[in-house]
Structure 1
Amino acid sequence: MLMSEGVEWGLHCCMVLVWLDDRAPISTARLAEMFELPPEYLKKRLQPLVREGILESTPGSRGGYRLARSSERITLMDVVGAVEGRTEAFRCTEIRRRGAGSAAASSEFAKPCGIAGAMRRAELAWRRELTKQTIADLVADAPANAPTRARRFYERLTA
């Protein structure tokens, strides 16, 4: 399954916002500087997270982003769903009923296609795993110096 870079940027930005949570909202420009990205590019990647209630955005010169809820309540699936959408990765179009299958009795198709079932089970397992993990879990698993490094870098940007 191929996901866009927006998922990765969204997850990293959420982690940074956890590490900088004692500050005012973090501007798009500052977040973009932390990752060496154009601000407009990052803003487009974060807008779906705002729409889904993962981030809150405050407009104005002192505005920016912060988490809309605690990091323990934001799952990886929340971020993936916000960025990529919630449609299923595999859609069975019943191609088994075409060609050679077009002459088969309809009773041969009484049971769902085994391929569709296998793909659905795999996707459900993937979604369950992403739902089990939160931003707080990612933060807990990050290198011990990552929060300090992020804070120091941010302080240099704002000095």
Structure 2
Amino acid sequence: MRIGEGVEWAAHCLLMLDWMGEDRPVPTARLAAGFELPPPYLNKQLQALVKAGLVTSTAGARGGFRLARPLEKITMMDVVAAIEGPEEAFQCTEIRSRGVGADSPASALRRPCAVSTAMRKAELAWRRALAEQTLADVSAAVKRGAPEIEETVRAWYARN
């Protein structure tokens, strides 16, 4: 399974919105500058976060984005689903009914496909693990390794 870079960008932006501690909306260009990302592409990720209810958006010259809820209420699965969509990663196409299996009786296909079952079991475990981790957990892990992160982020954005 491959997850697009938009998930990484979205998760980092959510953390930044929290760490910046600003009372006003943060424009896309300002967030993008902190990661040297193209603002139009980042805006696409931010709009997906709005649609998922993870951030709010304010239009206009003083507009931008802010967290819709605290990091404790946002899971990593919320971020993945917002950016990648809620669809299952594995799609069984019943390949066992073709080629060698084309002449198999219909009863042989009534049992769940073992490959599909294994993939769904693994994906469910992955989704549960992501749903158990909040962005507050991620933020705490970052702060354990870099206790000055909030101060560093605020100082950088104050200069730029």
**What's the TM-score bracket when you normalise by the shorter of the two chains?**
over 0.9
What is aligned with 1:8? 8
By how many angstroms is 1:48 displaced? 0.4
What is aligned with 2:51? 51
What is aligned with 1:70? 70
Asked whether 1:28 is paired with 2:28, we answer yes
What is aligned with 2:108? 108
Contact 1:21 1:66 in 2 (8 A): no
By how many angstroms is 1:148 displaced? 1.1
Closer/same/farther in 2, CA of residues 154 and 23 from structure 1, 3 Å limit:
farther
SS in 1 for 2:101: helix
Q: How many pairs does the alignment contain?
A: 157
Asked whether 1:149 is paired with 2:140, we answer no
Runs of 4+, deviation exceeding 4 Å: none
Q: Single out whichever of 113-122 and 142-151 deviates more from structure 2.
A: 142-151
What is aligned with 1:80? 80
SS in 1 for 2:56: strand
Contact 1:25 1:58 in 2 (8 A): yes
Q: Which amino acid aligns with 1:114?
A: A
SS in 2 for 1:35: coil
For residues 39 and 93 of structure 1, the distance between their equivalents in structure 2, rounded to whole angstroms, comes to 38
By how many angstroms is 1:23 displaced? 2.9
For residues 39 and 104 of structure 1, the distance between their equivalents in structure 2, rounded to whole angstroms, comes to 54
Provide, for residues 98-117 of structure 1, a one-character-per-residue CA deviation record: whole Å limited to 9, x for no partner.
Answer: 11211112222221010000
Structure 1, unaligned runs of 5 or more = none
For residues 35 and 114 of structure 2, the distance between their equivalents in structure 1, rounded to whole angstroms, comes to 44
SS in 2 for 1:66: strand
TM-score (norm 2): 0.94
Q: Which amino acid aligns with 1:145?
A: E
By how many angstroms is 1:38 displaced? 2.2
SS in 1 for 2:34: helix
Q: Which amino acid aligns with 2:155?
A: R
Provide, for residues 7-59 of structure 1, a one-character-per-residue CA deviation record: whole Å limited to 9, x for no partner.
Answer: 00000000001112343111111111111122212111211001110010111
Contact 1:55 1:69 in 2 (8 A): yes
Contact 1:10 1:46 in 2 (8 A): yes
Q: Which amino acid aligns with 2:12?
A: H
Please tell me the root mean square deviation across aligned C-alpha atoms, in Å: 1.0
For residues 45 and 32 of structure 1, the distance between their equivalents in structure 2, rounded to whole angstroms, comes to 11
What is aligned with 1:117? 117
